[in-house]
């Protein structure tokens, strides 16, 4: 095996590792945006609206999804069924104190949440919120691309990779970035449609 072959293999490893790391971080950024979208209220009831709420439980803060199960019997109604009936009051308080704008009704066994239909103005406000979340996600993805580029450029400067390898890696990085931003845009489109549908 010649020194050139070893150097080439090392360069391939450097570029692949950088690109794989960037892909992993970008995918996490996209997942984060999609998870944030689920917390924005549409006209429909969904467990995602409340499952991340924190509830005061025996002196510690616990997410609601650990304390209760959820059902959606109707499009605008969410039923929260605590695993332990002793947590009913704490769960009800957490929901009331949240920014959901719904009034929980507690029958001693479950908590029912009735979501009123969104006004046109509220829908437009929520669209602005999701657009802002999407833009934050796009910025995060582009920042990951920038960091990966810097890493590759440093590798080229220190002669770990050649100028050709740098160019190829940057093109691949550009395509990956475009694909991830596209995923955010598609998720935004779906969420906007969901918000504006009456």
Q: What is the pLDDT of residues 90-118, one digit of tens each?
A: 888 888 888 777 888 889 889 998 887 77
Is residue 2 predicted with pLDDT exceeding 60? no
Longest dimension (CA), the chain: 77
Is residue 166 predicted with pLDDT exceeding 70? yes
Query: Roughly what angle, to the nearest 10 degrees, separates helices 120-157 and 163-196?
Result: 170
Is residue 22 predicted with pLDDT exceeding 70? yes
Which residues have C-beta within 8 Å of that of residue 183, sequence separation ≥ 6?
30
Is residue 169 predicted with pLDDT exceeding 50? yes
Domains and CATH numbers, the chain: 3-39+120-196 (1.10.132.20), 47-114 (3.30.1360.40)
Task: Tell me the C-alpha distance between 40 and 14, whole Å.
Answer: 40
Is residue 137 predicted with pLDDT exceeding 50? yes
Is residue 6 predicted with pLDDT exceeding 60? no
Q: Which residues pair with 81 in a beta bridge?
A: 69
Mean pLDDT of the region 31-54: 83
Average pLDDT, the chain: 87
Q: Is the entire prediction scored with pTM above 0.95?
A: no
pLDDT at 173: 96
pLDDT at 8: 65
For residue 50, what is the DSSP state? T
Task: Tell me the C-alpha distance between 156 and 166, whole Å.
Answer: 7
- Chain Cα centroid distance, residue 94: 22
């Amino acid at each position: 095996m010649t020194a050139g072959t070893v150097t080439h293999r090392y360069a391939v490893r450097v570029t692949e590792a950088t690109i794989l790391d960037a892909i992993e971080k970008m995918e996490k950024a996209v997942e984060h945006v999609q998870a944030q979208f689920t917390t924005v209220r549409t006209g429909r009831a969904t467990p995602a609206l409340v499952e991340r709420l924190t509830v005061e439980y025996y002196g510690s803060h616990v997410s609601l999804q650990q304390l209760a199960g959820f059902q959606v019997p109707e499009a605008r109604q969410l039923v929260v069924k605590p695993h332990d009936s002793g947590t009913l009051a704490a769960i009800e308080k957490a929901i009331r104190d949240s920014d959901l704008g719904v009034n929980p009704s507690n029958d001693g066994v479950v908590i029912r949440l009735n979501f009123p239909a969104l006004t046109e103005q509220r829908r437009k406000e929520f669209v602005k919120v999701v657009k802002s979340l999407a833009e934050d996600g796009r910025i995060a993805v582009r920042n990951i691309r920038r960091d990966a580029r810097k890493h590759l450029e440093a590798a080229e400067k220190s002669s770990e990779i050649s100028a050709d390898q740098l160019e190829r890696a940057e093109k691949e990085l550009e395509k990956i970035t475009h694909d991830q931003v596209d995923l955010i845009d598609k998720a935004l489109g779906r969420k906007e449609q969901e918000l504006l549908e009456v």
